[in-house]
Chain A
Amino acid sequence: MSETVFDNLRRAILDYDGDAAEEWARKAVEEKLEPAGAMEVLTDAIRQVGEGFAREELWLPDLVGAAEAFTRAIPVLEERLASMGRERDVLGKVVIGTVAADIHDIGKNMVRIFLTAEGFDVHDLGVNVAAETFLEAVKEHEPDILAMSALLTLTAVQQKAVILALEAEGLRDMVKVMVGGGAVTAEFARMVGADGYDPTAIGAVQVARRLVGA
């Protein structure tokens, strides 16, 4: 029995079907299957899609479709874990947002989706995020990583402002800072004092893994 539920769960991801993913996650809960096992199935399916993308057999909508289906199933299983007094094994917690004055979010959304699919717990603060809002979110969620996206050269220095604010509040050592977006280069990332940078959303996942030592 558990095999069919798990098979269907895997199929939902491979079919990029969010409704089915949520439904089969619920079934797994109803049938009192081990939530950690279900999560492993999901992660494995996502990895399979990721490999297909890396081999250039699959395309961006496949990858994002699978990742979003994954994020539909996860909360159902998390809830179940919580009711058992347990927590999901995540690679780490991430707070992400596009810096103040900047409303570009296509790339930032991709980073969020890929990090989520990789097994990070991601809080997305949206676009036009003020330095104080980043700071509050760091205090509230205590993330392992703060990720900032910036596409306007004009306001990319906001990333520096946030880092300075973290220092001023004595929070800088508690969180790794990762930056990216069209206006950010490796050199710029060094200049603002970030811990990690990558020019792509896929690369952001590897950077994040490195930052949490995974």
Chain B
Amino acid sequence: MTMKGFIVRNPVSVLSPDELERVHGAMLEVLRETGVVFEHPKALDVLADAGCRVDREKMLVKFPPYLVEDSLRRCPSRVTLKARNPKYDVDIGGNRMYFCPWVAMNLYDADTGERRAPREEDVLQAATVLDYLDEVHVYGFGNFANVDESVAPGLCAYPWGMAFNLRHTEKALFGAAILGIEPWIVEMFQAAGVRPGMLVSGAPPLTWPGHQLLVVFAAAEADFPIMPFCGMAAGSNSPATLAGTLVQNYAEMSAMITLAQSLKPGMEVLAGDYSQLMGMREAVVVQGGPEAALLDAAWSQIWRRHDIPRTGFNTRTDAKVIDYQGAAEKTLTLLLSVLSGSNKIYFHGGVYDELLASPVAAVMDNDVAKMVMRIVEGIKVTEDTLAVDVIDKVGPMPGHFLSEKHTREWWMKEQLLPEVADRSSYERWLAEGKKDFLARAKDRCAEIAKTHEVPPLPDDVDRELEKIYRSAKKTIQSWGL
């Protein structure tokens, strides 16, 4: 059994067919003329064998257009992830859409409005809440990628986090590695019998770092899908124009897809993008707002053209607290991302960019996800829903529909019942203590954290993870990291 997610039948476009074609042509030209650096000899060998022109000294690869087109064609149209509990397996691609949480550096403390480093209990609370929330279809990394040093020092936070996630959610996961720690990460997932997506990060402009290529090789070996992405700040490490940013990242991604398909034909790739803007006043990355929404929709369109599944990164905000700007920016980008047909969207829990996250925000986001899904479901038009018979029966005043069987049958299918958002009367709202969305979400979050239980891993798997973690830790510490 797999998670249903939801279906977006008629995705919207922001580029005309002609514009899409020009972006594609420009991408091929960049790959042919400028090329992409792959900082690993094995990648250079594979691409040279596939027919690329390789300058070994510069590690620069130039791609013949036919090879790129062919690789994009051969890239599978689905990515499947296997979770601890098979009911949470996901089948990403086509018109199907899933949500997963945003991973951030620090916790937004919804009680104090301050930011702080997440402690182990915060990570656990977020995990419990995300495991519970029904519109978190994929767990990914959860809300936090790090934890305080006393729990897992330095780079050990990576394997620690992967083991932690295997223990504290039954949903599908992502894996990531840097600096050659991928063997332990892969081993952990294999010990638990799951199939994660492995994150691979490029370094724009036009560079794939060696230690990230090691992750690609390990994923190929383990038969795990990869999720490559490049972090662009338009105007800084990609062109200031949205179109130029599309071209550059399209080239980076197509180069990676060509490597993947040459390395292991049929390798599953979930295309990422992760394009944002450079803030030209204080040099910060600007992640929310209309440009992000447009880029997101364009990416959906680009990857749909190749029937390659895509993950959307852009449902973020630059607001530093949970407020109106945050809600507006997140919803703007979310709606366009969903309507344009992203297959998986990072959404739940993000507060400020990807620098702050909060499980309280995740609870609020879960309701917003439901609202967006309701929009996507659309208006159902059938003989029964047109309701001519019941209109005729109830007729002009003083007739009413409240007691009709048709009403009892349909209202709950048509009306969304949010878990936290307020649709109650003013009087009830007063009586319940004038709570706003945030206050209600805090209550709900605390309640979920207290009551939801995630079944533990089988003892032998748990012990195996501990063993792998210890071995990873020993090696990492021997490197002085």
Binding site for B on A (CB under 8 A): 56, 59-61, 100-101, 103, 105-107, 110, 127-128, 131, 152-155, 157-158, 161, 182-183, 200-201
Contact = CB atoms under 8 A, between A and B. Distances in A.
B14 interface: no
Interface in B191-238: 201, 203, 209, 211, 233, 235-237
A143 B150 CA distance: 34
Contact of A100 (B203, B281, B282, B481): B481
B283 A110 contact: yes
Given A101-B211, A101-B481, A154 B283 contact: no
A103 B154 contact: no
Nearest to A157: B154
B157 A101 contact: no
B481 A158 contact: yes
14 contacts: A59-B281, A61-B235, A61-B240, A101-B155, A101-B481, A103-B203, A153-B146, A154-B146, A154-B154, A154-B158, A155-B481, A157-B481, A158-B481, A182-B105
Nearest to A62: B280
3 closest cross-chain pairs (CB), A and B: A60-B280, A101-B179, A59-B280
Contacts of B203: 103, 105, 127
A106 B480 contact: no
Given A103-B209, A128-B209, A201 B155 contact: no
A67 to B, nearest CB: 13
A131 B480 CA distance: 10
A88 to B, nearest CB: 27
Contacts of B282: 200
Interface of B: 105, 117, 146, 149, 153-155, 157-158, 178-179, 201, 203, 209, 211, 233, 235-237, 240, 278-283, 285, 355, 480-481
A180 to B, nearest CB: 12
B393 to A, nearest CB: 65
Given A157-B149, A161-B480, 9 more contacts: A56-B281, A106-B278, A110-B283, A128-B209, A153-B105, A153-B157, A154-B155, A155-B179, A201-B283
B280 A154 contact: no
Contacts of B209: 103, 128
B118 to A, nearest CB: 10
B19 to A, nearest CB: 26
Contact of B236 (A106, A155, A161): A106
A105 B158 CA distance: 21
A107 B283 CA distance: 8
Nearest to A165: B480
A200 B282 CA distance: 8
Given A100-B481, A101-B155, A155-B481, A60 B146 contact: no
Contacts of A153: 105, 117, 146, 157
A155 B280 contact: no
A56 to B, nearest CB: 7
Contacts of A157: 149, 153-154, 481
A103 B215 CA distance: 15
B233 A106 contact: yes
A110 B155 CA distance: 26
Contacts of A201: 283
Nearest to B209: A103
Contact of B280 (A61, A103, A131): A61
Contacts of B117: 153
A133 to B, nearest CB: 14
Given A60-B281, A106-B236, A154-B155, A100 B146 contact: no
A154 B203 CA distance: 18
B280 A100 contact: no
Given A106-B233, A106-B236, A155-B155, A200 B179 contact: no
Contacts of A105: 203
Contacts of A60: 278-281, 283
B467 to A, nearest CB: 22
A107 B278 CA distance: 11
A166 B279 CA distance: 36
B430 to A, nearest CB: 43
A73 to B, nearest CB: 23
Contacts of A152: 178
A157 B237 CA distance: 26
A182 B279 CA distance: 15
Contacts of B158: 154
Given A128-B209, A154-B157, A157-B154, A101 B178 contact: yes
Contacts of B154: 154-155, 157
A161 B280 CA distance: 33
A104 to B, nearest CB: 8
Nearest to B156: A154
A117 to B, nearest CB: 14
Contacts of B233: 106
Nearest to B212: A103
Contacts of B280: 59-61
A201 B284 CA distance: 11
Nearest to A53: B281
A177 to B, nearest CB: 17
Contacts of B279: 60
B283 A200 contact: yes
Contacts of B235: 61
Nearest to B155: A154
A154 B179 CA distance: 11
Nearest to A58: B280
Residue of A60, A158, A183 with most chain B CB atoms under a 10 A cut-off: A60
A60 B280 CA distance: 5
Contacts of A100: 179, 481
B127 to A, nearest CB: 19
Contacts of B281: 56, 59-60
Nearest to B148: A153
A161 B209 CA distance: 23
Contacts of B240: 61
